Amino acid sequence: MAPSVAERLLERLDQAGVSGGLCSIEAAAEFGVDHQTLVGAVKSLQALGEVIEAEARTATRWELSPEGEEVLRCGSPEVRLFRSLPEEGLPQSEAMKLPGGSLGFSKAMANKWVRLDKGAPGGPRVLRAVLSVQDTVQEHLGQVRAGGAQGLPERERTELKRRKLLLEVTLKSYWIRKGSAFSTALARPETELTPEMIATGSWRRLPFKPYNFSSLGLPPACGHLHPLLKVRSQLRQIFLEMGFTEMPTDNFVESSFWNFDALFQPQQHPARDQHDTFFLLDPAEAPQLPPGYSSKVKKVHSQGGYGSQGYRYEWKVEEARKNLLRTHTTSASARALFRLAQQEKFTPVKYFSIDRVFRNESLDATHLAEFHQVEGVVADRGLTLGHLMGTLRQFFTKLGISQLRFKPAYNPYTEPSMEVFSYHEGLKKWVEVGNSGVFRPELLLPMGLPENVSVIAWGLSLERPTMIKYGIKNIRELMGHRVNLQMVYDSPMCRLDV
Q: Does 356 bind other proteins (CB under 8 A)?
A: yes
Among 286, 433, 455, 472, binds other proteins (CB under 8 A): 286
Q: Is the dihedral of CA 234, 235, 237, 241 positive or negative?
A: positive
User: By CB under 8 A, what part of segment 466-485 binds other proteins?
Assistant: 481-485
Considering just the CA atoms, what is the radius of gyration of the chain in Å? 44
Among 150, 191, 212, 274, binds other proteins (CB under 8 A): 274
Among 192, 282, 318, 425, binds other proteins (CB under 8 A): 282
Please name the helix (run of DSSP H) or strand (run of DSSP E) that holds residue 9, with its range, or none.
Answer: helix 5-16
Task: Give the nearer residue to other proteins in terms of CB position, either 66 or 408.
Answer: 408
Q: Does 278 bind other proteins (CB under 8 A)?
A: yes
Size of the site for other proteins (CB under 8 A): 90
CA nearest to 160, candidates 139, 137, 143? 137
Q: How far apart are CA 21 and CA 24, in angstroms?
A: 10
Q: Which amino acid appears at position 382 of this protein?
A: G
Stretch that binds other proteins, among 59-67, 79-87, 171-179, 376-384 (CB under 8 A): 376-384
CA nearest to 470, candidates 224, 239, 223? 224
Stretch that binds other proteins, among 125-133, 209-217, 272-280, 457-465 (CB under 8 A): 272-280
Q: Does 367 bind other proteins (CB under 8 A)?
A: no
Q: Does 287 bind other proteins (CB under 8 A)?
A: yes
How far apart are CB 456 and other proteins at their closest, in Å? 8
User: By CB under 8 A, what part of segment 305-324 binds other proteins?
Assistant: 306-313, 323
User: By CB under 8 A, what part of segment 184-223 binds other proteins?
Assistant: 223
- For residues 468, 470, 471, 472, the Cα torsion angle rounded to the nearest 10 degrees is -90
- For residues 364, 369, 374, 376, the Cα torsion angle rounded to the nearest 10 degrees is 120
- Residues 377-416, one symbol each (x = binds other proteins by CB under 8 A, - = not), give -x-x-xxxxxx-xxxxxx----------xxxxxx----xx
Q: Does 363 bind other proteins (CB under 8 A)?
A: yes
Q: Does 369 bind other proteins (CB under 8 A)?
A: yes
Among 182, 279, 293, 346, binds other proteins (CB under 8 A): 279
User: By CB under 8 A, what part of segment 439-468 binds other proteins?
Assistant: 440-442, 454, 456
Q: Return all residues near 178 (Cβ < 8 A) that are at least 6 apart.
A: 13, 14, 18, 52, 53
Q: Does 247 bind other proteins (CB under 8 A)?
A: yes
Backbone angles phi, psi at 459, to 5 degrees: -150, 155
Walk across the sheet containing 114-117 and list its strands.
90-91, 125-128, 114-117
Among 52, 137, 325, 478, binds other proteins (CB under 8 A): 325
Task: Give the nearer residue to other proteins in terms of CB position, either 8 or 476.
Answer: 476
Q: Return all residues near 173 (Cβ < 8 A) that are at least 6 apart.
A: 23, 24, 25, 35, 56, 57, 58, 59
- State the number of CA atoms in the 13 A half-sphere of 185 facing the CB: 1
**Which regions of 12-109 does DSSP assign to beta strands (E)?**
22-23, 52-64, 90-91
Task: Give the nearer residue to other proteins in terms of CB position, either 192 or 314.
Answer: 314
User: By CB under 8 A, what part of segment 150-169 binds other proteins?
Assistant: none
